[in-house]
Amino acid sequence: MNAALELRSVSKSYGNQRAVERVSLTIPRGTFFSLLGPSGCGKTTTLRAIGGFESVDSGEIWLNGERIDLLPPHRRKVNTVFQNYALFPHLTVLGNIEFGLRQRGAGPFDEPVRRVLEQLQLAGKESRRPSELSGGERQRVALARALVLSPELLLLDEPLAALDPQLRKQVRAELKDLQRRTGISFLFVTHDQEEALALSDALAVMNHGAIEQIGAPTDLYLRPATRFVASFLGTMNWCNGVGVRPEALKICRGAPPDGHTPVHAVISRAIFLGPVTQIELRTASGDVLLAQVAQGGDVYKPGEAVQSWWNPADELRLTP
Amino acid sequence: MVLTLAAPLLIVCAYSMLSRGAYGGVELPVTPENYARLFTPLYAGIFLRSFAVAGIATALCVALGFPLALFIARSRRPNLCLALVILPFWTSFLIRIYAWIFLLRDTGLINTVLLRLHVIGEPLPLLYTNGAVVLGLVYGFLPFAVLPLYAVIERVERQDKVLLEAAADLGASSTAVFWRMLVPLCMPGIRAASLLVFVPCLGTYLVSDLLGGSKTVLIGNVIQNQFTASRDWPFGAALSIVLIVAAAAMLYAGRRGGAELA
């Protein structure tokens, strides 16, 4: 079986600036795959290269066993949900959704259009203009417009960034449902690690144009291969050369259990977050550590001297 | 505003309802006669032909101006290209139209070359035709179309580039992107260009006078005649008023269309 998408050592430079450097990855069919990284890491360039809006300097892009990196955008069976949706302002919702079908010329469109309108809860809004829609509706039109063409791969360029935070979580769940129901492979580009962890079957973390690590969310979170991945996914404490997640860092007033080396620290801040309180500690060597104390446990106050410790099984040893 | 725009307009309006003076000028009594004469087949025909010629010239200006504006917007030196488009304005319009006579007449450059090359046996009748008038209008007013078209194309390609990409992403070939995305997005500029060309085309008399001869009489020529040879100022004023109303109606319709789209 072919992968939905395969990138083979794709590179792209602008002048002497390397935007994407020897990126290789495989997206199995029907998966929700994310490209995660800070802005300027090359994730959007990679996405645009797959869509056909950027040429690649070297390497190959294969879609379902067909090499596509030399095809113009309209000949590639991938569709894109653009960051600000790029809805056509002079067309209605229906006009936007039918646009791609009309380019193919094959009719009738009624059945696929009706299905996608229903799937994305847009029925009744067909004759609206994009300017008359809410942010969430625009996003659904952008999805509908692409999905109606049944692409072999759907590219999503930060599709949640334009939504307000409350809506974002709800839409996130809907997006995951939609991917499962349609079975279409999604390639999702984001700089939001929480989004990537919540949505993806697998993800690739990019930095400086190259991929740092590819794997399932749990793999990347629990077994990051590099310091960058460890710090970018969630929060990581660095203490005496090893990494410890805040939820694994424990604090006590007395001595820690036998066999655990304590680190002396002073509490500099205690922030109540509801279910947990986040404790900020300062060690004698000046490191700042974060720990989480569950509600109902001991109460710590700023200025208090404590011992912190962790299970050796929870520590990560990574070369900087 | 009042002095330069409203006052002359009011004078023209008043003249159009007065009687003709023997040696030009106007006299009492007030009469609707001047407007009644407009509805004779002769003048209705001239009005129709004027609208048709202006319409064809406008369509050609937009059709030629759009690709030119697109080329300029995508060129490396847009400002230089725009300067070249405006360059002819440095020469008198009259002289430039005269130059066309030297190109088009029976012993003109085009016919001479074609005759010498034995492509034709006798000179083609190029000058003093409707075609020559349309050619002159397109030549004269093309820059008025190019400038607003350039402005809108440049804006669309800069701000709405992603829409063109989205169209290609959804399967539109470059031809389809042009017709189904770029042209519709440029509609406000196309409308502005059409109005900027159509209105002066409708009122001009210089081009039809020089390149159309006596065969192609447009409304502008008739008006000019009333104030000179015919010495019928009230009728000339009535014709002007009707022309102004017609042009204003076109502008209004254009605005309405624009508002609906926005």
pLDDT digits (tens, 9 = 90+) for A55-82: 999 999 999 999 999 999 999 999 999 9
The DSSP output letter for B204 is -
Any CB–CB contact under 8 A between A84 and chain B?
Answer: yes
| Closest residue in chain B to residue A79, using alpha carbons only | B169
Alpha helix locations (H) across B105-186? 109-116, 130-159, 161-169, 174-177, 183-185
> C-alpha distances in angstroms, A95 versus A104, A107, A129, A147?
14, 14, 9, 15
Count other Cβ atoms within 10 Å, centred on residue B243. 19
Kindly state the tokens that stand for A149.
């063409």
Q: Please tell me the total count of domains within chain B.
A: 1
Chain-chain contact of B180 with A99 (C-beta, under 8 angstroms): yes
Instruction: Say if residue A38's pLDDT is above 60.
Output: yes
Chain-chain contact of B170 with A84 (C-beta, under 8 angstroms): no
A chain contacts of residue B174, beta-carbon cutoff 8 Å: 72
Give A156→chain B minimum CA distance, Å: 12
Left if phi > 0, otherwise alpha if psi is -120 to 50, otherwise beta: which for B191?
alpha
Give domain status of residue B231, yes or no: no
B chain contacts of residue A78, beta-carbon cutoff 8 Å: 169
Supply the pTM of this predicted model: 0.82
- Sequence letter at residue B224: Q
Give A16→chain B minimum CA distance, Å: 22
- Sequence letter at residue A55: S
**Residue A1 pLDDT grade (very low, low, confident, very high; cuts 50, 70, 90):** low
A chain contacts of residue B171, beta-carbon cutoff 8 Å: 74, 100, 103-104, 149
Give domain status of residue B58, yes or no: yes
Rg from Cα positions in chain B? 22
Q: Which residues contact A35 (CB under 8 A, 6 or more apart)?
A: A43, A46, A47, A187, A188, A189, A190, A203, A204, A206
**Residue A47 pLDDT grade (very low, low, confident, very high; cuts 50, 70, 90):** very high
User: To which residue do tokens 């290269």 refer?
Assistant: A49
How would you class A312 by CB atoms within 10 Å of its CB: exposed for 0-12, middle for 13-18, buried for 19 or more? exposed
A268-319, pLDDT tens digit by residue? Answer: 998 888 888 889 999 888 888 999 888 877 888 888 889 888 888 888 888 6
pLDDT at A145: 94
Give domain status of residue B7, yes or no: no
Cβ-nearest to A103 among B163, B165, B170: B170
Q: Is the dihedral of CA B27, B28, B30, B32 positive or negative?
A: negative
pLDDT at B107: 83
* Share above pLDDT 90 across residues of chain A, in percent, rounded to a whole number: 58
Helix axes B41-74, B233-261, angle to 10 degrees: 40
Cβ-nearest to A53 among B165, B176, B180: B165
Any CB–CB contact under 8 A between B110 and chain A?
Answer: no
**Residue B257 pLDDT grade (very low, low, confident, very high; cuts 50, 70, 90):** low
The closest of A32, A35, A30 to A50, measured between CA atoms, is: A35
Instruction: Say if residue A158's pLDDT is above 80.
Output: yes
Chain-chain contact of A99 with B170 (C-beta, under 8 angstroms): yes
B69-110, pLDDT tens digit by residue? Answer: 999 999 999 999 999 988 888 888 889 888 888 888 888 888
Instruction: Say if residue B262's pLDDT is above 50.
Output: no
pLDDT at B176: 94
pLDDT at B215: 67
Write down the mean pLDDT value for chain B: 85
Q: Work out the average pLDDT over A184-205.
A: 93
Q: Work out the average pLDDT over B172-176.
A: 93
B197-252, pLDDT tens digit by residue? Answer: 988 888 888 888 888 877 667 888 888 888 887 788 888 888 888 888 888 887 78
Q: Work out the average pLDDT over A94-114.
A: 88
Instruction: Say if residue B258's pLDDT is above 70.
Output: no
Cβ contact A11:A21 at 8 Å: yes
Give A185→chain B minimum CA distance, Å: 17
Phi, psi of A232 (to 5 degrees): -75, -35
Cβ-nearest to B169 among A73, A89, A90: A73
CATH number, domain containing residue B111: 1.10.3720.10
Any CB–CB contact under 8 A between B183 and chain A?
Answer: no
The closest of B234, B214, B169, B205 to B25, measured between CA atoms, is: B234
Give domain status of residue B116, yes or no: yes
Beta-sheet strands, E only, within chain B: 19-20, 26-27
Q: Work out the average pLDDT over A114-123.
A: 91
Cβ contact B218:B46 at 8 Å: yes
Give B143→chain A minimum CA distance, Å: 27
Instruction: Please state the three-class secondary structure of chain A as a single string.
Output: CCCCEEEEEEEEEECCEEEEEEEEEEECCCCEEEEECCCCCCHHHHHHHHHCCCCCCEEEEEECCEECCCCCHHHCCEEEECCCCCCCCCCCHHHHHHHHHHHHCCCCCHHHHHHHHHHCCCCCCCCCCHHHCCHHHHHHHHHHHHHCCCCCEEEEECCCCCCCHHHHHHHHHHHHHHHHHHCCEEEEEECCHHHHHHHCCEEEEEECCEEEEEECHHHHHHCCCCHHHHHHCCCCEEECCEEECHHHCEEECCCCCCCCCCEEEEEEEEEECCCEEEEEEEECCCCEEEEEEECCCCCCCCCCEEEEECCHHHCECCCC
Give domain status of residue B134, yes or no: yes
Question: What residue numbers bound the domain in which B256 lies?
Answer: 42-217+247-261
| A282 vs A305: CA distance, rounded Å | 10
Cβ-nearest to B162 among A82, A103, A149: A82
Instruction: Say if residue B261's pLDDT is above 70.
Output: no
Any CB–CB contact under 8 A between A55 and chain B?
Answer: no
Any CB–CB contact under 8 A between A181 and chain B?
Answer: no
- Please report the residues numbered 133 through 152 in chain B whose beta carbons come closer than 8 angstroms to any beta carbon of chain A: none
Cβ-nearest to A74 among B162, B173, B261: B173
Give domain status of residue B85, yes or no: yes
Any CB–CB contact under 8 A between B257 and chain A?
Answer: no
Q: Work out the average pLDDT over A38-42.
A: 91
Q: Work out the average pLDDT over B130-139.
A: 89
Cβ contact A175:A101 at 8 Å: no
Any CB–CB contact under 8 A between B185 and chain A?
Answer: yes
Q: Which residues contact B261 (CB under 8 A, 6 or more apart)?
A: A90, B187, B188
Give domain status of residue B210, yes or no: yes
**Residue B11 pLDDT grade (very low, low, confident, very high; cuts 50, 70, 90):** confident
pLDDT at B223: 87
Q: Work out the average pLDDT over B40-56.
A: 86
- Domains annotated for chain A, with CATH where assigned, are 3-227 (3.40.50.300), 235-314 (2.40.50.140)
Count other Cβ atoms within 10 Å, centred on residue B253. 12
Count other Cβ atoms within 10 Å, centred on residue B75. 12
Kindly state the tokens that stand for A102.
């009309």
Any CB–CB contact under 8 A between B180 and chain A?
Answer: yes
B142-164, pLDDT tens digit by residue? Answer: 999 999 999 999 999 989 999 99
Three-class DSSP category at B220: helix
Q: Work out the average pLDDT over B183-202.
A: 90
- H-helix or E-strand spanning residue B212: helix B206-212
Any CB–CB contact under 8 A between B159 and chain A?
Answer: no
Cβ-nearest to A86 among B166, B174, B180: B166
* Share above pLDDT 70 across residues of chain A, in percent, rounded to a whole number: 98
| A103 vs A100: CA distance, rounded Å | 5
Chain-chain contact of A73 with B185 (C-beta, under 8 angstroms): no
pLDDT at A191: 92
| Closest residue in chain A to residue B165, using alpha carbons only | A53
pLDDT at A318: 80
Chain-chain contact of B168 with A74 (C-beta, under 8 angstroms): yes
Give domain status of residue B27, yes or no: no
Any CB–CB contact under 8 A between A138 and chain B?
Answer: no
